[in-house]
Amino acid sequence: MAVHRKRGPGYREDTYQRDLEVHFTESGLAHVAQKNIEVYDSVNGDVLIGYYIPDFIVEDIVIVEIKALSGGLDNSHIAQVIGYMAVTGCPVGLLLNFGTRSLQWRRIFPPKNITEHCVNRQWLFVPDWLKAELSTDSGN
């Protein structure tokens, strides 16, 4: 909330990310910014299909995902955080939207069937080298 009070709406997401990282550091919170987390296929669990990149993992227990949307948060953003929670094992997610006049936030807890949410391709980052490898493996 302090970051939103300082900046207000209207900036790009990366601006809020930098400010939040400074705030975490000044507050003494252990955090990792934009960590590449490997995601494997849900069938065999042995083929790397891409990466999730949450904005922050704080104290190894909270996923923090930030947005700068004027229109607000929707269910796809909640699904994004749940996917990140599924692959990291973090028990809490925090979804923040800095793009509105008042800070929007949602605290998210994992659903009972969290393992079903490990692969959400909408939020999957697949680097070019992996795209080439996957297309070779599939015979394309």
Cα torsion through 83, 13, 50, 75, rounded to 10: 30
Amino acid at 54: P
Q: How far apart are CA 137 and CA 19, in angstroms?
A: 42
pLDDT of 139: 60
Is the pLDDT assigned to residue 140 strictly greater than 70?
Answer: no
User: Token match 């080439």: residue?
Assistant: 132
Domains by residue range for the chain, with CATH: 2-137 (3.90.320.10)
The reported pTM is: 0.87
Q: What are phi and psi of 50, to 5 degrees?
A: 155, -165
What is the pLDDT of the chain when averaged over all its residues?
90
Residues sharing a CB contact under 8 Å with residue 11, sequence separation 6 or more, in sequence order? 68, 98
Is the pLDDT assigned to residue 50 strictly greater than 80?
Answer: yes
How many residues appear in the chain?
140
